[in-house]
């Protein structure tokens, strides 16, 4: 008996028009990030496992239990990337970032993989759009990245989002903070689940990743990250807040934002939306001044963020797809097929931004027109509707006389004219 083939648990296929929404978001990313001088980087979907255990952190949830790790045919341990910053840094170190002009400005978009329990907004294969700025130690780097992020979100129609900002202690200050946190939680250690008990011992900062309501409330009274900042980090944080105010970036502060990856230093931030439900984070980011050196490169400060593209697309209320007029070319019978194909390619040449689709069946004008009406009613075709939907009706008379009949489906108006006038009529309309 044959088994039904299905996409693996936690993955989802993207078909039109959804795939077009993703493409449109990536198009806006390329435009906005490009306007700040950021170039696109594409790194492998799998990397050596060691890259992630060394960068994301052995004790993080991601490395501990969420990675897709497998041996290849030669027994090398590989992992499907759970995030993209480690791969970007690995690529830069490999390609000699010490020789590259600073700052280094990069963005990426692509699939990431985590073995999580799937639920609304949480998948095993999901997509991230991210940005990395390397070589800027000062708070102006953090401010540029955040200002650019908000420019991007606004370009997609999100005008009411707010960043939640924190500054986490680094180096020796981080050790003291970890100790204080452990002291605070230890009296309640007996009531912790096995996962949180492990966090408490191995890496108390990771307790902030806990979903256990008791731990969440326990941490509410915990020592604050801000109390443990060294003088320089405190100054960095204050400067950043001032720059953000001047740039008009909306933010609030929260000492509970620690982020689930070990490589962050100083600035961390998130943007969430209540409309997403339980999995409410749209994006997260921060500064990672130690990571490049940790992965074998020269000491290089860096800051970046990663947006969950699936969550972003699910929140969008505006259609980011470009408006394209649609021409639905209908040959009356098989005898007009060749003529229809010729008219269609002429229309494409005249209007490169239009969609020109041919009804290849040649089942008659009536059937072709009712198909065009269906297209007009299809919400997925909204972008095309906004640019106008027209049927190009081609019967034996049109073919013999070298003419076309074009019916505007919004107004019902119809006109027959020589095919040689297509450029004049539609090419000119585009210029206006």
Which residues are near ligand AMP by CB under 6 A?
83, 114, 116, 121-123, 126, 128, 260, 281-284, 306, 308, 310-311
Residue 183 CB, shortest distance to ligand AMP, in Å, is 28
Nearer to ligand AMP, 310 or 332 (CB): 310
Residue 312 CB, shortest distance to ligand AMP, in Å, is 7
Question: Rounded to a whole number, what is the distance in angstroms from the first to the last CA of the chain?
Answer: 62
Provide the 8-state DSSP code for 101. P
Residue among 226, 325, 261 nearest 66 (CA):
261
For 209, residues 6+ apart whose C-beta sits below 8 A from its C-beta are 60, 61, 199, 258, 260
Residue 210 CB, shortest distance to ligand AMP, in Å, is 15
Q: Which residue has 């970007």 as its token pair?
A: 88
**How far apart are the C-alpha atoms of 37 and 77, rounded to whole Å?**
36
Residue 131 CB, shortest distance to ligand AMP, in Å, is 12
**How far apart are the C-alpha atoms of 402 and 15, rounded to whole Å?**
38
Residue 123 CB, shortest distance to ligand AMP, in Å, is 4
What does 120-142 look like in DSSP terms, one character per residue? Answer: TTB-SEEEEEEEEEES--SHHHH
User: Closest-CB residue for ligand AMP?
Assistant: 308
What does 8-61 look like in DSSP terms, one character per residue? Answer: PTT-----TTHHHHHHHHHHHHHHHHHHTTPEE----SEEEHHHHHHHT-TTSH
Nearer to ligand AMP, 89 or 330 (CB): 89
Nearer to ligand AMP, 250 or 425 (CB): 250
Residue 44 CB, shortest distance to ligand AMP, in Å, is 17
Residue 301 CB, shortest distance to ligand AMP, in Å, is 19
Nearer to ligand AMP, 284 or 368 (CB): 284
**How far apart are the C-alpha atoms of 337 and 362, rounded to whole Å?**
7
Nearer to ligand AMP, 91 or 423 (CB): 91
> For residue 22, which phi and psi values (nearest 5 degrees)?
-60, -45
């Amino acid at each position: 008996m044959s088994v039904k083939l299905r996409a693996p648990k936690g993955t989802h296929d993207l078909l039109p028009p959804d795939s077009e929404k993703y493409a449109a978001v990536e198009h806006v990313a390329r435009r906005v990030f490009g306007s700040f001088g950021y170039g696109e980087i594409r790194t492998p979907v799998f990397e050596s496992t060691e890259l992630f255990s060394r960068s994301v952190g052995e004790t993080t949830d991601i490395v501990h239990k969420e990675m897709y790790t497998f041996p290849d045919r030669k027994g090398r341990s590989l992992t499907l990337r759970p995030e993209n910053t480690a791969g970007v840094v690995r690529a830069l170190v490999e390609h000699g970032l010490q020789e590259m002009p600073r700052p280094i400005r990069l963005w990426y978009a692509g699939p990431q993989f985590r073995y999580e329990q799937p639920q609304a907004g949480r998948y095993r294969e999901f997509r991230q759009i991210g940005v990395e700025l390397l070589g800027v130690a000062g708070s102006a780097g953090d401010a540029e990245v955040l200002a650019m992020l908000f420019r991007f979100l606004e370009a997609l129609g999100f005008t009411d989002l707010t960043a939640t900002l924190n500054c986490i202690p680094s180096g020796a200050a981080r050790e003291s903070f970890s100790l204080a946190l452990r002291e605070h939680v230890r009296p309640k250690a007996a009531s912790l689940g096995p996962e949180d008990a492990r966090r408490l011992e191995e890496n108390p900062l990771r307790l902030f990743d806990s979903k256990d309501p008791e731990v969440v409330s326990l941490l509410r009274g915990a020592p604050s990250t801000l109390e443990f900042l060294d003088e320089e980090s405190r100054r960095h944080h204050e400067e950043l807040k001032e720059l953000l105010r001047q740039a008009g970036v909306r933010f609030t502060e929260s000492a509970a934002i620690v982020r689930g990856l070990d490589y962050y230093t100083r600035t961390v931030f998130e943007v969430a939306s209540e409309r997403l439900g339980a999995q409410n984070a749209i994006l997260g980011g921060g500064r990672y001044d130690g990571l490049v050196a940790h992965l074998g490169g020269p000491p290089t400060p860096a800051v970046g963020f990663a947006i969950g593209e699936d969550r972003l697309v699910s929140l969008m209320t505006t259609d980011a797809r470009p408006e394209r007029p649609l021409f639905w070319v209908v040959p009356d019978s098989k005898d007009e097929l060749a003529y229809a194909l010729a008219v269609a390619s002429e229309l494409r040449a005249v209007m490169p931004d239009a969609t020109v689709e041919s009804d290849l069946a040649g089942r008659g004008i009536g059937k072709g027109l009712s198909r065009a009406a269906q297209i007009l009613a299809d919400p997925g075709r909204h972008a095309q509707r906004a640019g106008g939907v027209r049927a190009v009706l081609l019967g034996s008379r049109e073919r013999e006389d070298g003419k076309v009949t074009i019916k505007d489906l919004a107004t019902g108006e119809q006109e027959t004219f020589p095919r040689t006038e297509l450029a004049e009529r539609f090419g000119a309309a585009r210029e206006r």
